[in-house]
Amino acid sequence: MRKEIITKESKNVKQLGRILYHDGICYLGYSASEIGFYYTGNRILAQIVTDAWYREDGKRGCIGVLVGEDAEPWKRFELDTEEAEYLIFDREEYAKWRGVAVEKLPEELAVRIVKYSENAFGVAGIRYLTVDDDAKLRALPERGRRIEFIGDSITCGYGVEGVWNVDIFETTQENPMKAYAVRTANALNADYQLVSWSGIGLISDWIPEEQNEPDTTILMPQLYPYTNASLSSRLGIAPDAWDVSGFRPDMVVIYLGTNDASYTRSISEREKMFIDAYLELYRKVRDNYGNDVEIVCCMGIMDRTLCRAISEFAERRREEGDSRLHYVEFEGQREENGIGTDWHPSETTHKIASARLAELCKQWL
């Protein structure tokens, strides 16, 4: 077998998401970042490194491997060692999992290695793939559209596979493939990248009721300009500015404010601070991608406190001439649709939200 090192310049692998390359390693950090390719061989192994989170139960990085057109991963595993070799694909084992004879499988199969856990927890650094000597890798095709999602835990798919008041959060309950963002992109035949982090806000991360000062430990304005500022810090290197030419979206979806609301609390001065920060993010998106990109501001599933403020912000910008800025207010989640870990939306709620968002986006795109 031979080694395949994945670099930014690799043409035989599709690279999706804000992937950081450092010291010969391809780092999948953000939710739903991935590498994907068609493969003609029988077996794939991957040498993967992770960081200090591997020491903590429930907070390890998680990977899913999707094959062919499968909606569910045939393999999904935690990165429980600082560095190890993991089985990514085995043709015979996959055939058994599918319940078909191995000779019935196509010679060339699509293989996608996807980061299921979010960037706040264990990273997945692919040092190299080990593939069959005579196997060919061919990059998966680009889709017809591109969408960037900027968000918090809802966008990450936090707790979507857990149950409220039953489960304690673990990264194994995170599944961005079941969350509204990836679902919406799939419905629109769009490639996607997620810049999302649980608990994050624009002026404050989530804080408990008894706390009155904002938590500014890590805010979206500190992350968004960079490929992966948090991981760069953990690696002891300077963050590199995100190269906006690498992924020029047709649409940018912003879903922020749920965590800020724990601080703003309908206090007008605080809401003004939030909208000022929202305006700066909006301007950054416009600076990155120009005036033709559609921007969609979302709110409402978990908390509705800042719905009015965001709606009024979008309306003012439209009155000032930005016809490509939109506002979507989701219905609040309902207990009859299930509630995920820590009061986060269930898969059913994500399906409802993505159906509404995709239908509107089809009009705007």
Q: Do residue 122 and residue 215 come from a single domain?
A: no
pLDDT on residue 82: 94
Q: Do residue 92 and residue 152 come from a single domain?
A: no
**What is the pLDDT averaged over residues 346-358?**
98
**What is the pLDDT averaged over residues 311-318?**
98
The CATH number of whichever domain residue 102 belongs to comes to 2.60.120.260
**What is the pLDDT averaged over residues 241-263?**
97
Per-residue confidence at 292, pLDDT binned at 50, 70, 90? Answer: very high
**What is the pLDDT averaged over residues 178-200?**
98
Among 358, 352, 253, 234, which residue's Cα sits nearest to residue 310? 253
Q: Do residue 276 and residue 306 come from a single domain?
A: yes
The CATH number of whichever domain residue 292 belongs to comes to 3.40.50.1110
Domain C-terminal end among 101, 117, 139: 139
| % the chain with pLDDT above 70 | 100
**What is the pLDDT averaged over residues 297-314?**
98
**What is the pLDDT averaged over residues 266-272?**
98
pLDDT on residue 56: 80
Using N-to-C axis directions, what is the helix angle for 180-187 and 347-364, rounded to 10°?
40
Domain C-terminal end among 122, 139, 156: 139
pLDDT on residue 55: 75
CB under 8 A, 24+ apart: contacts of 230-239: 230/29, 230/119, 230/120, 230/197, 231/20, 231/27, 231/29, 231/119, 231/123, 232/20, 232/22, 234/51, 234/52, 234/123, 235/22, 237/22
pLDDT on residue 52: 74
Q: Do residue 158 and residue 289 come from a single domain?
A: yes
Q: Do residue 168 and residue 298 come from a single domain?
A: yes
Per-residue confidence at 101, pLDDT binned at 50, 70, 90? Answer: very high
Among 166, 170, 155, 74, which residue's Cα sits nearest to residue 114? 74
Domain C-terminal end among 139, 168, 191: 139
For 87, the domain range is: 2-139
Q: Do residue 85 and residue 167 come from a single domain?
A: no
Q: Do residue 324 and residue 292 come from a single domain?
A: yes
pLDDT on residue 147: 98
**HSE of 105, CA atoms in CB hemisphere, 13 A:** 25
Q: Do residue 195 and residue 99 come from a single domain?
A: no
Q: Do residue 99 and residue 157 come from a single domain?
A: no
pLDDT on residue 358: 98
Lowest mean pLDDT among 9-18, 51-60, 73-82, 173-182: 51-60
Q: Do residue 348 and residue 210 come from a single domain?
A: yes
**What is the pLDDT averaged over residues 312-334?**
97
Q: Do residue 279 and residue 173 come from a single domain?
A: yes
**pLDDT beyond 90 at 357:** yes
Among 140, 190, 191, 148, which residue's Cα sits nearest to residue 10? 140
> Whose structure tokens read 């649709």?
337
Number of domains the chain contains:
2
Q: Do residue 59 and residue 162 come from a single domain?
A: no
**pLDDT beyond 90 at 53:** no
